[in-house]
């Protein structure tokens, strides 16, 4: 092992250790001595952006398929292995990352390592199980199609990034899933599940030495070799295509999604978090107060900020009646107008800081949140940022910083709007 860093993070109740194994796998640990569990994650720095153009949904399907069997465990053994000792195993895929994780009692951490390394290093991809899993993923696609609030985000990206991998859906299509072969799965893993692309995170009542010993033992079979064949992540504004589209859909209420994109600039990161808090995060946000409380136009309304390696996405979502579409859009436009955004005063900014800091610090009480925070810091910023540093950075944001963030995010390119109008009966 080498390149060891120790990041002291007293507010977060512990110290983060950042190590690198000889084969290139990175290992992050955070001891939390007052809990009896450990949350262990294996992160692959590859998601749907690494899908071949001909096979959208492949990264997500690999995440499913590795659970169907390994050279030493069948599906049922995998399913029961951790659950029978009171733990649980889960996984997710995003556009840029995949995570497979286990939460278990600390005395079962060796078992958790054995299972996760087996899934990542020795999947067997049995043909019969893979064919059955295709039907499972297709049903997952159907469930998204039946959930307009989720579907509208996928379709928005498809129109906003028609020639860019950010536009691809994570789940893929029925046709692309049906076309996947065992060779596709093995090739994807060969290209992406490589030591330089893997990260081990462990948070809970274990020491860094324990985790390093288990990591070295569990992943010794992975030898340093050809680096991962990752997609080029160099987003430019020309990759974003502004649009305005209104479609009739079999929904009970209209779905509105406003959004825009910008290149990523880390100097705006904390300002953008605060801007999102002010505009659409929580009951006291501007969007919720205006659209729901004052005008009763929506039950569900919020904004979201999504960070990628090379891009930033900002969205505003609202569900409303067909008859209220025009009025709701007018209010959103007004809230996002330069005049309105320039009216963010010091009092509103300080309140947003308190809200954001409270959520950030309380979130660290959740072990999965700690694990994710460390991994994403490393992926997006190249280092683990101490919580104290984040708190200080948020406290130092000024009104002028907010104005610069607004100019970068909301005035770099025209905004887009996608509307699902409820079909007339």
Token pair recorded at residue 210: 């324990």
Q: Is residue 413 part of a domain?
A: yes
Shared-domain flag, residues 316 and 375 = yes
The chain-wide mean pLDDT, for the chain, equals 94
Considering the domain architecture, whether residues 53 and 168 belong to the same structural domain is answered as yes
Is the Cβ–Cβ distance between 215 and 27 less than 8 Å?
A: yes
CB 4 within 8 A of CB 356: no
Tell me if 172 is assigned to some domain: yes
Please report whether residue 264 resides in a domain: yes
Q: How does 24-36 read in b/e, with b if 16+ C-beta sit within 10 Å?
A: bbbbbbbbbeebe
Residue whose token pair is 């029978």: 84
Q: Judge whether 231 lies within some domain.
A: no
**Are 307 and 166 contained in the same domain?**
no
Residue 416 forms part of a structural domain: yes
> Which pLDDT score, from 0 to 100, does residue 338 have?
92
Tokens of 357: 């800091």
* Spatial strand order in the sheet of 416-422: 244-249, 416-422, 254-263, 311-320, 301-307
How many Å apart are CA 83 and CA 70, to the nearest integer?
18
Three-class SS of 387-400: HHHHHHHHHCCCHH
Does residue 13 register a pLDDT over 60? no
| Interaxial angle between packed helices 127-145 and 148-160, expressed in degrees from 0 to 180 and rounded to the nearest 10 | 100
pLDDT greater than 90 at residue 11: no
Question: Where are any strands of DSSP class E within 267-410?
Answer: 301-307, 311-320
Give the pLDDT confidence score for residue 10 in this predicted structure: 47
- What count of other Cβ atoms lies within 10 Å of the Cβ of residue 83? 12
127/224: higher pLDDT: 127
| Total tally of structural domains belonging to the chain | 2
Contacts of 46 (CB under 8 A, 6+ apart): 59, 96, 97, 98, 192, 193, 197, 228, 230
Last residue of a domain, one of 186, 218, 250: 218
Provide the 8-state DSSP code for 63: H
- Residue 425 pLDDT more than 70? no
pLDDT of 384: 93
pLDDT bucket at 222, cuts 50 / 70 / 90: confident
Tell whether 304 and 409 lie within a shared domain: yes
Summarize pLDDT for 93-109 with one digit per residue, the tens: 999 999 999 999 999 99
Domain that holds residue 396: 237-422
pLDDT at 77: 96
Give the pairing of strands 311-320 and 301-307.
antiparallel
Q: Using CA atoms, how far apart are residues 347 and 205, in angstroms rounded to an integer?
A: 41
Residues 213 and 248 in one domain: no
Q: Are residues 88 and 38 in the same domain?
A: yes
**Distance (Å, whole) CA 282 – CA 380:** 25
CA dist., res. 224 & res. 226, Å (int): 7
Does 156 score more than 80 pLDDT? Answer: yes
Choosing from 163, 188, 218, the residue where a domain stops is: 218
- What is the per-residue pLDDT across 348-370, written as a single tens digit (0 to 9) for each? 999 999 999 999 999 999 999 99
The reply to whether 270 and 130 lie within a common domain is no
pLDDT grade for 15, boundaries at 50, 70 and 90: confident
Residue 384 tokens, joined:
């683990």
d(CA 69, CA 78): 7
> Which range has the worst mean pLDDT, 52-56, 98-102, 407-411?
407-411
Q: Tell me, yes or no, whether 213 and 250 share the same domain.
A: no
Residue where a domain stops, chosen among 190, 218, 246: 218
**Whether residue 407 sits in one domain with residue 264:** yes
Q: What's the pLDDT tens digit per position in 267-290?
A: 999 999 999 999 999 999 999 999
72 belongs to a structural domain: yes
User: Taking residues 163-174, what's their average pLDDT?
Assistant: 95
Q: Which of 11-20, 164-173, 237-246, 351-360 has the lowest mean pLDDT?
A: 11-20
Same structural domain for residues 265 and 118?
A: no
E strand segments, 308-382: 311-320
Predicted local confidence at residue 1, as pLDDT:
46
Same-domain pairing of 206 and 248: no
Residue 230 maps to a domain: no
- Residue 203 · residue 370 · CB < 8 Å: yes
- The residue behind tokens 């995440």 is 63
Specify the pLDDT at position 9. 54
In the prediction, which pLDDT does 321 show? 97
pLDDT of residue 230: 66
- Axis crossing angle, helix 269-280 with helix 399-410, rounded to the nearest 10: 90
User: Does the pLDDT at position 372 exceed 90?
Assistant: yes
Q: In the numeric block, which tokens belong to residue 244?
A: 């305005």
pLDDT > 90 in the chain, percent: 89
**CA-CA distance, 211 to 21, in Å (whole number)?**
11
Rounded to an integer, what is the distance from CA 354 to the centroid of its chain?
Answer: 24
Q: Is residue 229 part of a domain?
A: no
Strands, E, within 58-146: which ranges? 88-93, 98-105
| Ranges 84-88, 185-189, 221-225: which has the least confidence | 221-225
- pLDDT recorded at residue 226: 67
Predicted confidence at residue 280, as pLDDT, reads 97
If we measure between CA atoms, which residue out of 200, 182, 214 comes closest to residue 66? 182
What CATH number should be reported for the domain holding residue 250?
Answer: 3.30.830.10
> Are 41 and 99 in contact, with CB atoms under 8 Å apart?
yes
Alpha-carbon distance of 143 to 53, in angstroms, equals: 24
Same domain as 174, residue 263: no
pTM value is: 0.93
H helical segments located in 146-288: 148-160, 174-179, 182-192, 208-218, 269-280, 286-287
């Amino acid at each position: 092992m080498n390149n060891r860093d120790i990041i002291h993070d007293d507010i977060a109740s512990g110290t983060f250790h950042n190590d690198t194994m000889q084969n290139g796998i990175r290992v992050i640990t955070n001891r939390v001595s007052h809990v009896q569990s450990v949350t262990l994650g294996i992160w692959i720095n590859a998601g749907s952006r690494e899908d071949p153009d001909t096979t959208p949904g492949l990264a997500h399907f690999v995440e499913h398929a590795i659970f169907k069997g390994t050279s030493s465990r069948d599906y049922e053994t995998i399913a029961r292995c951790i659950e029978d000792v009171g733990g649980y195993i889960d996984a997710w895929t995003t556009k840029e990352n995949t995570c497979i994780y286990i939460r278990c009692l600390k005395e079962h951490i060796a078992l958790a390592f054995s299972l996760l390394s087996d899934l990542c290093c020795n999947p067997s991809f049995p043909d019969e199980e893979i064919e059955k899993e295709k039907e499972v993923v297709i049903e997952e696609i159907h469930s998204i199609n039946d959930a307009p609030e989720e579907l509208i985000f996928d379709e928005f990206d498809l129109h906003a990034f028609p020639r860019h991998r950010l536009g691809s859906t994570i789940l893929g299509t029925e046709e692309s899933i049906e076309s996947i072969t065992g060779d596709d799965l093995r090739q994807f893993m060969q290209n992406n599940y490589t030591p330089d692309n893997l990260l081990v995170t462990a948070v809970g009542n274990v020491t860094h030495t324990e985790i390093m010993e288990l990591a070295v033992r569990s992943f010794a079979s992975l030898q340093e070799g050809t680096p991962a064949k990752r997609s080029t992540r160099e987003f430019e504004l020309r990759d974003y295509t502004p649009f305005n589209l209104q479609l009739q859909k079999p929904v009970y209420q209209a779905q509105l999604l406003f959004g825009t994109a910008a290149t990523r600039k880390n100097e705006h990161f904390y300002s953008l978090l605060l801007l999102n808090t002010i505009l659409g995060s929580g009951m006291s946000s501007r969007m919720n107060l205006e659209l729901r409380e004052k005008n009763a136009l929506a039950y569900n309304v919020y904004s979201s900020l999504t960070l990628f390696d090379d891009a930033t996405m900002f969205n505003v979502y609202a569900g409303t009646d067909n008859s209220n579409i025009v009025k709701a859009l007018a209010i959103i436009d007004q809230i996002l107008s330069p005049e309105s955004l320039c009216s963010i005063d010091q009092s509103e900014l300080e309140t947003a800081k308190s809200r954001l800091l409270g959520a950030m610090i309380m979130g660290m009480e959740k072990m999965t949140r700690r694990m994710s925070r460390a991994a994403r810091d490393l992926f997006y910023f190249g280092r683990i940022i101490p919580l104290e540093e984040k708190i200080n950075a948020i406290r130092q944001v000024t009104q002028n910083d907010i104005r610069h963030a607004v100019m970068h995010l909301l005035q770099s390119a025209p905004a887009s709007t996608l509307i699902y109008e409820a079909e007339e009966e």
